[in-house]
Amino acid sequence: MTIYPAIDMLDGQTVRLRQGDPRRRVVVAADPVAAAARWEADGAAWLHVVDLDGALTGAPRHLDVVAAICGRVRIPVQLGGGLRTMADVDAAFQTGASRIILGTAALTGHLLEEAVRGYGDRIAVALDTRDGRVVMNGWQTASPVRVLEAAALLVERGARRLIHTDVRRDGMLAGPDVAGLAALIGQVTVPVIASGGIRSAADLRALAGAGAEGAIIGRALYDGRLTLRGALSAGVEVG
């Protein structure tokens, strides 16, 4: 199971949000590029980078920082946040990112189909949920669409990989929604990466047991509750 240290950028800094609320931010690293280098040095095989300013405003804001990260590290980077047009997707790949994550825009219009035609399995889709329903626009807008319904639609439209985040658990160290993840994985035919609430190696083993392809970890790593070495060891145990 692949472990993805998270680098969430807001106002040029690496932050952790609680339950997706930008007002409840904690700065965990002043320099996102230095954070990326740290996780690579500690053994990460991938990085998960999110432009939170882009997600909140609807257009990417930190592609220059992402390019600096990709120029600094040798490991692949998956990038999301505010990528809502094909021009945004193209620009995001020009930073050196290996995989792009579509969010809100994948549920409407034809961006997902266009992006998959152009980039294949280098496109992933974020399925962000609260109380079993999809949330949009940087987690700020509730949708009436249920998570399993949205997942089926996204796969039908060509999604090759889903990234599932339980927003209520994100940044709270309350443990992941293993049952909800298992239900999602049981319905779709594409890999699913889990995010939200991960706090321990036991959580990682539970997610792997549910069938997760990977796990994104933020606060637990920055707080020191879980070391990257420990997370990677757990991933090897169940991989």
- Please say if 8 is a catalytic residue: yes
Cα–Cα–Cα angle for 167, 151, 89, nearest 5°? 80
128 is catalytic: yes
Choose the catalytic residue: 51, 53, 88, 128.
128
53-74 b/e with 16+ CB inside 10 Å = b? bbbbeebbbbbebbbbbbeebe
CA angle 205, 210, 213 (to 5 degrees): 80
Contact yes or no for 49/79 (Cβ under 8 A)? yes
76: three-class secondary structure by DSSP: coil
Inter-residue contact 29 to 14 (CB < 8 Å): yes
CB atoms closer than 10 angstroms to residue 118: 13
Which residue numbers are catalytic? 8, 128
